[in-house]
Structure 1
Amino acid sequence: MTSPMPARIGDPLSRVQTPALIVDLDALDANIGAMAAHVRGTGQVLRPHAKTHKSVEVARRQLAAGAVGLCCQKVSEGEALLPSGVRDLLISNHVVGAGKAQRLCALAREVRTTTLCSDTRHARVLSDAARSAGVQLEILIEIDAGDARMGLPDGDTTGLLQIAQMVQDAPGLRLRGLQVYNGPFQHIRSHEERTSAAVLAANRAKAASQLLQDAGLSCEVISGGGTGSFTADVEAGVLTELQPGSYVFMDADYGRNLDASGAQVSAFRQSLFVQTTVIRTASAGVVYLDAGVKSLNLDSGMPLVKGRPDLGFTKASDEQGRIEASPAGPAPELGEVLMLVPSHCDPTVNQHDWIVAVRNEEVEAVWPVDGRGCLL
């Protein structure tokens, strides 16, 4: 069951029922424009990752700003975002299972559809599904970007060539190139170390691409990169398309990354918040909010309180959060509304049915989180 809308168009921000997911439209639009401008003219293209926002409306804004398509992490996310008008989807994951493969092929009847592979057995499964459905699936071979996750290990030239040759020869498949995404490296705090990680990933991709081309195999696309490394990704000049996602919203964890001067990275503005209300003043300096684990995600730590460095979010149960005030400022009062900066934007969005889009302290729109719960 979808929860009731927490606000109506024209409502002042103060009347939004809490806990609610809030997006500052001015900041959102500025972030979308800034990333588009950074990539424009570089010879690379932008394919933003929609697992961050899961929203048709945000996707429309990204496409209007020049994105060539979208990344989705699950087939169901791609299905949910088709109304955005996207014509080119990358399912940047390994789609395994007969039911998912059938739906992947159904998606390929609607839009250009690319997915990942790093195993010859998997390539056969995808080929059989595509041939049976009468469609073509485009394939990126995923190589390890230095984070030892889903890609082929660095130096496995035999494996890379075997998979690439199989994909190129397989009915229903088309070899398009390489995927090289370094997820954990996006959150390395030091600018120098984060840049080094991006360069490492780029060098691995460059070597793999050259290997494919020397063997007469296709490598027209090298896709990867992210919000933490986008500057280095562009400067390295190896990737043909960039996949940042979190830049549209940002979060407390990305806020801990540092730029070359040692200051907090400031290329993008915080646009995503969880608005919450004080529901109990328990004791001196301690209050409880109506936003807990079911409204937030804590895998990257506790959220911050916007504009109140004197307040610390110290604990969360399912439905409540605990705030402790330092002596530097007064504790919030019963009924007071606070804005939390999520620690991790992607899974926080997935906790909510609605995005309340606000401009100048007034509700301009209420958008459904179209891809919420799209796990398949």
Structure 2
Amino acid sequence: MTKTIPDALWGLIGQGVDAIDTPALVIDLDAMERNLQRMVDFTAKHQILWRPHAKMHKSAELARLLMSAGAVGACVQKTSEAEALAAGGVTDLYISNQVIAPAKLARIATLAETLAGRGGWLALAVDSALGIERLAQALQGRRAKVRVLVEIDVGQGRCGVPPGEAVLPLVRQVLACPQLVFGGLQAYHGQAQHLRSPVERRAAIAQAVRAVNLSGEVLQAAGIQTPLITGAGTGTLVLETASGVYGELQAGSFLFMDADYAANERDPAQPQFEHALFVKTQVMSRSAQHAVCDAGHKSHAIDSGLPTVHTWPGEPALRFGNGGDEHGLLYPTQAGQTLPALGQTLWLIPGHCDPTVNLHDFMVGVRGGLKQGTVERIVTVDARGAVG
């Protein structure tokens, strides 16, 4: 169920950005829509499907926006994420992760029925015979089928079976179950997304493509066609597309971009995505050596590093330092640089957008820029805390 937006947030709509209290998670709607259009143009040019990952924004509203722009559906990583987005009107969902627990698989069966009743689909990744067996058991007596994609480990070193012969028995098991539909192969290389140089990323995805081709050859030799290869992220989407092997892109972070993705050396073929997600903060204390803002770790994730401080052209840069849960430390980057004044507004670019979004119930959508923009909408983080 969609979260109830507090009256104080509703009251922001139509007001200027100065009215947004701090700390707050803010979407630059103009930048977000430019990112979206660049992705639409890219996928149309290359005639490839895209199913952006909703674990990034965790919002049914944004998932629907992406689908209205041409996305075929949404990826999620957790059963509860799928349930939250389905409750918000998303009808084509792929849980690109393993689900083994019978209690969760019972929920998946119920969700599959719900989506089928709306003309939609639920899909799930698998990498074990036990996972397939338990999914089939959960679907017994249900009036729905689940699309199943066998995951291969293409270099991530996380989930997935080794490429090649290990794929065949799992696919045969799926094909033998009347309530399962073989949907293809899951081939996502997460580690490749954050390799800094294009050369490193190309090498990693070349390895992934070899793994995919080997698996496809094994299936083809057994007389089994592979309907789809799905994977790719914001850091490598041009490479999976250029391979001619992948039929669907799962990139999601392109919509907001974060400091870690921005640290990658850009591939010239990559669309020029820009930052669209910010933490608004203000200076609450000041000393001779540093200033302190009110956005600590409870307002932004630090797994991919501390946030960076957004600076306007001509302004001196600031370095963000670890101040703990509720405080951020701001240091000058040049000798003699003036620190920001008490009460001054600053905008932080999160190191990693996905877990940062998961720290907030709502995102404030601003139209017209961060300096003089106006609050246009409040976006609910429907799947906040949906980790099961």
1:329 Cα offset (Å): 2.8
Name structure 1 gaps, 5 residues minimum: none
Output the amino acid matched with 2:308. Answer: L
Whether contact under 8 Å (2:100, 2:130) holds in the other structure is: no
1:84 Cα offset (Å): 5.2
Output the amino acid matched with 1:126. Answer: L
Whether contact under 8 Å (2:67, 2:73) holds in the other structure is: yes
1:316 Cα offset (Å): 2.9
Q: Does 1:179 align with 2:186?
A: yes
2:223 equivalent among 216, 220, 225: 216
- Partner residue of 2:155? 146
- Partner residue of 2:324? 317
Q: Does 1:241 align with 2:262?
A: no
Whether contact under 8 Å (1:272, 1:342) holds in the other structure is: yes
Q: Does 1:73 align with 2:77?
A: yes
Distance 2:137 2:227 in 1: 24
1:85 Cα offset (Å): 4.0
1:188 Cα offset (Å): 0.5
- Partner residue of 1:96? 100
Change (3 A) 1:121 1:309: farther
Instruction: Give the secondary structure class of the aligned counterpart of 2:22.
Output: coil
Change (3 A) 1:220 1:309: farther
1:366 equivalent among 374, 378, 381: 378
Output the amino acid matched with 1:359. Answer: R
Output the amino acid matched with 1:331. Answer: L
1:309 Cα offset (Å): 5.4
Instruction: Give the secondary structure class of the aligned counterpart of 2:259.
Output: coil
Output the amino acid matched with 2:279. Answer: V
Q: Pairwise CA RMSD of aligned residues?
A: 1.9
- Partner residue of 1:200? 207
1:277 equivalent among 277, 282, 298: 282
Distance 2:128 2:225 in 1: 17
- Partner residue of 2:352? 344
1:259 Cα offset (Å): 2.4
Change (3 A) 1:266 1:162: closer
Whether contact under 8 Å (2:12, 2:19) holds in the other structure is: no
- Return the TM-score normalized by structure 2: 0.91
Change (3 A) 1:328 1:151: farther
Distance 1:116 1:100 in 2: 14
Distance 2:316 2:222 in 1: 57
Output the amino acid matched with 2:282. Answer: T
Relative to structure 2, which stretch is displaced further, 217-226 or 247-256? 217-226
Instruction: Give the secondary structure class of the aligned counterpart of 1:223.
Output: strand
Distance 1:86 1:199 in 2: 33
Change (3 A) 1:279 1:162: same
Number of aligned pairs? Answer: 371
Name structure 2 gaps, 5 residues minimum: none
Whether contact under 8 Å (2:5, 2:380) holds in the other structure is: no
Any residues of structure 2 matched to 1:44-193 within 5 Å, and which?
44-82=48-86, 85-109=89-113, 110=115, 111-155=120-164, 157=165, 159-193=166-200
1:310 Cα offset (Å): 2.5
Distance 1:180 1:260 in 2: 21
Deviations 1:186-213 (A, max 9, x none): 0001011112212221221122122212
Distance 1:216 1:124 in 2: 23
Q: Does 1:357 align with 2:369?
A: no
